[in-house]
Amino acid sequence: MNATSLVAIEALDGDNTDRVQAAIDSLSAFGGGRLELLAGIHNCRGLRLRSGVELHLAAGAILRPVADYAAYVHTTVSVIAEKSDRGMIVARDARRISLTGTGRIEAGCESFIIGDDESVGTFVPAEYRPRVVVFESCDEVEISSIHICRSPMWTLHFVNCTDVSVRNVTIDNDRRLPNTDGIVLDACRGAIIEDCRISTADDGVCLKTSAGPDGRAIGRCENILVRRCAVESLSCALKIGTETHGDVTNVMFEDCRISSSNRALGIFSRDGGRISNVRFSKISVECRETPDGFWGSGEALTVNVVDRVSERPAGAIENLVVEDVTGRMEGAITIIAAATSGIRNVSLARIALDQQPGQLGTGRTYDLRPTNADLAPMADGGGRANAWTRGSDGRVIGLEDYPGGMPAVYVAGVSGIAMNEVRITRPAPLPQGWNAIDVVMGTTPPDGSGAWQN
């Protein structure tokens, strides 16, 4: 951003909100410029970024938002996520805005933890938690070089934005706190995410298309490039879905490194939007099993279509390319159409993975969550709202047994799939519960209850 003027603010004891916000408003009113927070701790409540303003955290500057949900009553946002309608730094209908610098945002997640669920291995979050950054309907957005740590909820959420760039950003969240997604592009058009480092308990980089207050899609997500990122995730590192009310198209993930993760690459169609023209290329993966309360367990690639609400069938997934993927996994590759919209035209090429058994055994089932059961969990289901619930048999709803045991690759209900140089190294002898057939092509129904064939 070419700043037309510069304002620098020193760190002072106490609440700095009013003076920082006044400087933002003044800069915007006079054509824009850079607001630089100097070295030291800047305690603030919610801040609203305005058109033409760059909020710059100088070396040694720490922006420490107040760890109280009520502190953000004046920075509410329109898209609700996990009951949250508030952000620490927000913008709406703004142009040419940026958040830059080598300083740090310390988001204080520890104040939004109310318990420890040892059975699942996660903290229990407070009912209401703010996101760190939420930009809505903004154009020409830049976030670069900043370090964000300990987010209580989603970290960077871009909603219906255009011309977005996120470069050289570090996100370091508590890996035991759910819903702490790293970067969420929600119905954005024209975005690049590159050279970022993300460690979180939830999705690393997630593309989605949410519904607005009227229940309709807020827009489509298209022309997205994610490259040269390093991600650690206890959910899905590079993901499309599950909220897919609008279409998602023309997406490239390339030259990324995924480590210490649950799922590596994932596409999940649930809400009516069509997902098309997606490519995962040149990606190294390390996927580990997790307890069954987490979605998925150790899959290098998982793609599925499930009707979450019968009145709104899930959209199709079409034209998917996955190429030059290397590494190890404790689950399998799964591509499953459990809805009539289906999955069409899939290419898997030059994939070299080492499939090894995990210590939990949870990778031996495939996962079709979220399902309709997650929308209204049973009081006695032992689960967590919008995450998982158990049926009367005690099993998590949405976890299904592979027919004949866990293969290396399981494909069900897919129309048109090509595999070229797909090499999965498996242990010998195979562990108990593993399928002797490497690649299993399932017939309908794809939930494991029907016949199957190689």
Task: Give the confidence band of 359 by pLDDT, cuts at 50, 70, 90.
Answer: very high
Name the nearest CA neighbour of 186 among 237, 236, 137: 137
Instruction: List pLDDT tens digits, range 144-153.
Output: 999 999 999 9
- pLDDT greater than 60 at residue 181: yes
**What's the one-letter identity of residue 31?**
G
User: What pLDDT score does 376 carry?
Assistant: 64
Spell out the domains of the chain, with CATH numbers in brackets: 6-453 (2.160.20.10)
Mean pLDDT of 295-308: 94
Instruction: List pLDDT tens digits, range 270-279.
Output: 999 999 999 9
User: What pLDDT score does 118 carry?
Assistant: 83
Q: How many CB atoms lie within 10 A of CB 345?
A: 16
Task: Give the confidence band of 214 by pLDDT, cuts at 50, 70, 90.
Answer: confident
- pLDDT greater than 60 at residue 450: no
Task: Give the confidence band of 292 by pLDDT, cuts at 50, 70, 90.
Answer: confident
User: What pLDDT score does 37 carry?
Assistant: 98
User: What pLDDT score does 452 carry?
Assistant: 33
Task: Give the confidence band of 378 by pLDDT, cuts at 50, 70, 90.
Answer: low
Task: Give the confidence band of 383 by pLDDT, cuts at 50, 70, 90.
Answer: low
Share of the chain above pLDDT 90, in %: 85
Of 70-79, 190-199, 297-306, 372-381, the least confident: 372-381
Instruction: List pLDDT tens digits, range 232-257.
Output: 999 999 999 999 999 999 999 999 99
Task: Give the confidence band of 106 by pLDDT, cuts at 50, 70, 90.
Answer: very high
Task: Give the confidence band of 307 by pLDDT, cuts at 50, 70, 90.
Answer: very high
- pLDDT greater than 80 at residue 379: no
Instruction: List pLDDT tens digits, range 312-353.
Output: 899 999 999 999 999 999 999 999 999 999 999 999 999 999
Mean pLDDT of 113-135: 92
Task: Give the confidence band of 34 by pLDDT, cuts at 50, 70, 90.
Answer: very high
User: What pLDDT score does 189 carry?
Assistant: 98
Instruction: List pLDDT tens digits, range 385-435.
Output: 556 777 888 788 889 999 999 999 999 999 999 999 999 999 999 999 999
User: What pLDDT score does 444 carry?
Assistant: 45
- pLDDT greater than 60 at residue 453: no
User: What pLDDT score does 381 carry?
Assistant: 47
Mean pLDDT of 258-287: 97
User: What pLDDT score does 175 carry?
Assistant: 93
User: What pLDDT score does 443 carry?
Assistant: 57
